[in-house]
Amino acid sequence: MFSTVVQRFLQGIFVLFVLFTVTFFLIKALPGGPFKSAEKAIPQHIREKIEAYYGLDQPVRVQYLRQVKNIVQGDPGLSLRLEGREVTEIISQAFPVSVRLGLAAMVIAICIGIPLGVIAAWKKNTLMDYSAMAVAMIGICIPAFVIGPLLADQFGRRMNLLPAMGWDPTSPTSWVLPAVTLGLATAAYLSRLTRAGMLEILSQDYIRTAKAKGVGSFRMLVRHSLRGGIIPAVAFIGPAFASIISGSVVIESIFAMPGLGLHFIKAIEVGDAPVILGIVMLYGTLIITANFLTDLLGLWLNPRLRGS
Amino acid sequence: MKRRFSKNSPALRVKSVILRPVMLRRLLLISAPVGLLLASCQKETQVEKANREGILLVGNSAEPKALDHQLVTGVIESKIITSLFEGLVSDDASQDGAAPPGAATSWTHNDAMTEWVFHLQPEGKWSDGAPVTAHDFVFSYHRLLHPDFAGPYAEMLYFIEGAEDFNKGKVTDFSQVGVTAVDDFTLRVKLREPVPYLPALTRHYTWFPVPRHVVLQHGKMTDRFTKWSTREHLVGNGAFKIKEWRFHDFIEVTRNPYHWDAANVGLNGIRFFPIENPYTETRAFLSGQLHTTYQLPSDLIRSVKEKDAHYLRQEPYVGTTFIRLNTTRPALSDSRVRQALSLTLDREQICEHIMEGFFPTASLTPKMGDYVPEPKLSFHPEKARALLAEAGFPNGDGFPVFSLMIARPAARAGAEAVQAMWKKHLNIRVNIQNRDWGSYMSAQQSLNFDMASAGWIGDYLDPTTFLNMWTAGNGNNNTGWSDPRYEALLREAALKADPTERFALFRQAESLLMDAQPILPISHYTRNYLLRSEVKGWHPLLLDNHPWNTIHLKR
């Protein structure tokens, strides 16, 4: 067990290193550059000074080594887009927003998706199953940029019940619409995975035995089937959480949330290397950690895996 | 039998579940937060709350690159900067040409309009209480022009004698630059040429002061940035001072009690929201979260006109949209071809159906003050076909297939209309190419493009803000076109102090430019936006620089 953990940790470090290197050279391959894409052209003699200030006039090899050093020290440096602001400051402001939004969305996804999947499996091939799966299919098919504005328009403008945009850390009402929008697609996937997992378990012999012994339906579903039935869903939750946090840029745009996604996209638009690298490394770490934790959780849920 | 009846009948089970006290408690646990949530919802809208508090909620499109006004070049930054800083001359609330006092109470100039003296407010103070002096202004211009500081928009100060040479490192002694503090409250500016519109120019933030004592407290003058312009340390001389700054969330400014005119400031504060998505911004406005929006997407204008017409504002704005041509490309190097392309643009159709609210243009420069350019552009397909045939492409035969570059999806409809018009009237093909902003800009700057859909917003109310960029080597030209005759006319105009003579020469220059057509102007900008009726003292302005200190909210 311990050696597995160490092995996975070293693998993770290697993956991060490759991720960093590939990202760095991809940014360098982008056309334009942070000071060549201003709305009004910056005169060349000034642009050269600015680029020299940031060390962008040096050979790419030197820039690469400096960035590696910065990242290892945990400080990616200064943003080139929001001039003078430290990447750590940007991330420390935006990341908590993304995490809170992601957590809220995940809770919503789990609370909707898993019960829906269980019900669908339990009432297999009935109207209930079909309607639950139809809802899930709709959830998967309709993108967030359609659902988000519809929800915002309905609850914000028409009913004036919830804010149509913005982020207020002190008032949960401002999280509701973005979290629901973000969570719905994940809920849909979760319900389908749960249904499939549950169906497999429900067809097993020991369930038939339990039924024969007269175990009640609720007890049978929750005590005897759920733990096995949600294994596929749990395997999905880890990576899904990471992708919810890193992929919420559409939601952030629709609801004007000050999360990481918007910084990421904006930084890519102008080739703001320190911000891109800072966020990529954060996302990378997050996804690797989430996968690792998911594997551990899988081991706990599924004793059959422990031997191997 | 008994068992099935008591346990498995769904109706009975549901009933018993709900009535069990444990479940009741659970139900309460779940419903409590939901109830709280609904109860806390929107008793009053955010705008109503802000009205009570005297805070203006403003949609401002994007996160500012910085609040040190010597580091930025954009329009959205100017909205916030004009609340935090004040130039020598202020903006008038309703008249474009007026020049009310700002940091200076009065100013005089010599007959040639090359030497100006500004008398500063004796009561002028920074937001930390220190006096605003002429030395602050000299320090600011020194900083912006210093080559080591590398201010991106230093060229706005090139009107000052010796400024360009100093900025380009040809002169290293700043005393050679024509700006001096005669005493603490008197600033003398010597110009390289007559600039009758200098007061209007000093309203641009590049001419605003920075607090010398605060900048030096956090570093050297030439340090590109230090902590001085962060939320914690930023000191300005405007009617407001910074209170809160959260990236991509909002920036809030609050009254500056030290401002010389603080008693007449109508708002307690302003909150600027950098809402990138214009549809989100519109929704926020219609849900009572904003007093005014930065923009209104043109495809929403019609529905707003039907349902919420009282919010809609459509005002002329000094800007022009155009298609930039790369005149170093074959075919496009021929001015007859460029004219043929221009003559087949049905600008009225484009404005009526695609760029809602925009005005078809007959020249490059919008009308500003007494300057009216000669109307040169028209729609004349027969003439265009003749010109194209003359240039060697009868009926479009053999004409190269060019690509028309756009940088925003919103520009696609306009580009498609242009594409169709050229196909119909000239029988030539053009591809539309959507690029990201970075490669769109760098392709133009390296002349590695055919055609690009573009626009330009004036920085001040004088034709030079539109005409000066089409000279050889100008970083905003990017057409490969230049003409010594055009530049000679501009130089000649620059030496005239008399507005009538100046404008006559500018008219000639602009006519020459419109005959050569390295660019194909399409429309003049209109600012389409939404504004609530409780905002008072807000009038249409060509540059859209509403002086924040004159605005108030009806409570």
CA distance A256 to chain B (A): 6
Among B45, B246, B445, select the one facing A41 at the smallest CB separation: B445
User: Taking the CB of residue B511, how many other CB atoms lie within 10 A of it?
Assistant: 16
For the four alpha carbons of A92, A94, A99 and A104, in that order, the dihedral sign comes to positive
Torsion angle (degrees, nearest 10) of CA B166, B169, B174, B180: 10
pLDDT digits (tens, 9 = 90+) for A2-28: 787 888 889 999 999 999 999 999 999
pLDDT digits (tens, 9 = 90+) for B182-215: 999 999 999 999 999 999 999 999 999 999 999 9
Q: What is the CATH number of domain B35-61+239-293+531-553?
A: 3.40.190.10
Distance CA A108, CA B271 (A): 32
Work out whether strand B402-406 and strand B179-183 pair parallel, antiparallel, or are unpaired.
unpaired
Tokens 């708002």 correspond to: B267
CA distance A110 to chain B (A): 15
Beta bridge partner(s), residue B244: B252
> Do residues B321 and B335 make contact, with C-beta atoms less than 8 angstroms apart?
no
Q: Is it the case that residue B78 has pLDDT exceeding 90? A: yes
Q: Which residues contact B273 (CB under 8 A, 6 or more apart)?
A: A166, A256, B57, B58, B59, B60, B249, B250, B281, B284, B290
CB contact under 8 A, A83 and B248: no
* pLDDT of res. A222: 83
Task: Say how far residue A82 (Cα) sits from the centre of its chain.
Answer: 25
Chain A residues touching B155 at Cβ < 8 A: 43
Task: Say how far residue A60 (Cα) sits from the centre of its chain.
Answer: 31
Among A81, A93, A157, select the one facing B65 at the smallest CB separation: A81
pLDDT digits (tens, 9 = 90+) for B364-391: 999 888 899 999 999 999 999 999 999 9
* pLDDT of res. B356: 79
Which of A220-234, B250-264, B473-487 comes out lowest in average pLDDT? Answer: A220-234
Chain B residues touching A37 at Cβ < 8 A: 437-438, 440-442
* pLDDT of res. B436: 83
* pLDDT of res. B173: 96
Chain A residues touching B7 at Cβ < 8 A: 216
- pTM equals 0.89
Q: What is the arithmetic mean of pLDDT over B152-160?
A: 94
* pLDDT of res. B38: 52
Highest mean pLDDT among A102-106, B408-412, B486-490: B486-490
Candidates A26, A35, A37, A89: best to mutate against B (most CBs of B within 10 A) is: A37
Percent share of chain A, pLDDT over 70: 98
Q: Is it the case that residue B262 has pLDDT exceeding 70? A: yes
CB contact under 8 A, B247 and A263: yes
Among A47, A50, A253, select the one facing B277 at the smallest CB separation: A253
Among A40, A83, A93, select the one facing B66 at the smallest CB separation: A83
Among A49, A252, A259, select the one facing B150 at the smallest CB separation: A49
Chain A residues touching B38 at Cβ < 8 A: 161
CA distance A296 to chain B (A): 31
CA separation, residue B234 to residues A45, B178, B203 (Å):
29, 28, 20
Chain A residues touching B230 at Cβ < 8 A: 84
Tokens 């000094």 correspond to: B318
pLDDT digits (tens, 9 = 90+) for B414-443: 999 999 999 999 999 999 999 888 788 889
Q: Is it the case that residue A37 has pLDDT exceeding 60? A: yes
User: Taking the CB of residue B330, how many other CB atoms lie within 10 A of it?
Assistant: 9
Which of B25-34, B141-150, B220-229 comes out lowest in average pLDDT? Answer: B25-34
Domain range summary for chain A, segments of one domain joined by +: 94-307
Chain B residues touching A176 at Cβ < 8 A: 37
Q: What is the arithmetic mean of pLDDT over B350-363?
A: 89
Which of A184-193, A276-285, B20-29 comes out lowest in average pLDDT? Answer: B20-29
Q: What is the arithmetic mean of pLDDT over B74-88?
A: 95
Specify whether domain A94-307 bears CATH 2.60.40.1170.
no
The matching CATH number, chosen from 3.30.230.10, 3.90.76.10, 3.30.70.240, 3.40.190.10, for B85-224 is: 3.90.76.10
CA distance B198 to chain A (A): 21
Q: Is it the case that residue A262 has pLDDT exceeding 50? A: yes
Question: Which residue in chain A has the smallest CA separation from B42?
Answer: A161
* pLDDT of res. B43: 67
Chain B residues touching A270 at Cβ < 8 A: 437-438
Specify whether domain B315-527 bears CATH 3.10.105.10.
yes
CA distance A6 to chain B (A): 38
CB contact under 8 A, B169 and A37: no
Q: What is the arithmetic mean of pLDDT over B394-412?
A: 92
CB contact under 8 A, A50 and B152: yes
Chain A residues touching B279 at Cβ < 8 A: 149, 254
Domain range summary for chain B, segments of one domain joined by +: 35-61+239-293+531-553, 85-224, 315-527
CB contact under 8 A, A82 and B247: yes
CB contact under 8 A, A270 and B437: yes
> Do residues B422 and B428 make contact, with C-beta atoms less than 8 angstroms apart?
yes
Write down the ipTM of this complex: 0.89
Q: What are the residue ranges of helices labelled H in B1-67?
A: 2-3, 10-19, 21-39, 46-53
CA distance B109 to chain A (A): 31
CB contact under 8 A, B275 and A165: yes
pLDDT digits (tens, 9 = 90+) for B490-535: 999 999 989 899 999 999 999 999 999 999 999 999 999 999 999 9
CB contact under 8 A, B439 and A31: yes
* pLDDT of res. B34: 54
Distance CA B513, CA B494 (A): 17
pLDDT band of B445, cuts 50, 70, 90 = confident
Distance CA B392, CA B394 (A): 6
CA distance A234 to chain B (A): 24
CA distance B8 to chain A (A): 8
Tokens 């996937």 correspond to: A189
> Do residues B420 and B432 make contact, with C-beta atoms less than 8 angstroms apart?
no
CB contact under 8 A, B224 and A53: yes
Question: Which residue in chain A has the smallest CA separation from B225?
Answer: A84
Candidates B231, B246, B287, B446: best to mutate against A (most CBs of A within 10 A) is: B287
* pLDDT of res. B8: 39
Q: Is it the case that residue B299 has pLDDT exceeding 90? A: no
Q: What is the arithmetic mean of pLDDT over A175-194?
A: 92
Distance CA B335, CA B140 (A): 44
Q: What is the arithmetic mean of pLDDT over B166-179?
A: 96
* pLDDT of res. B10: 40
Distance CA B227, CA B219 (A): 8
The pLDDT mean for chain B works out to 90
Q: Is it the case that residue B58 has pLDDT exceeding 90? A: yes
* pLDDT of res. B16: 37
CB contact under 8 A, A164 and B287: yes
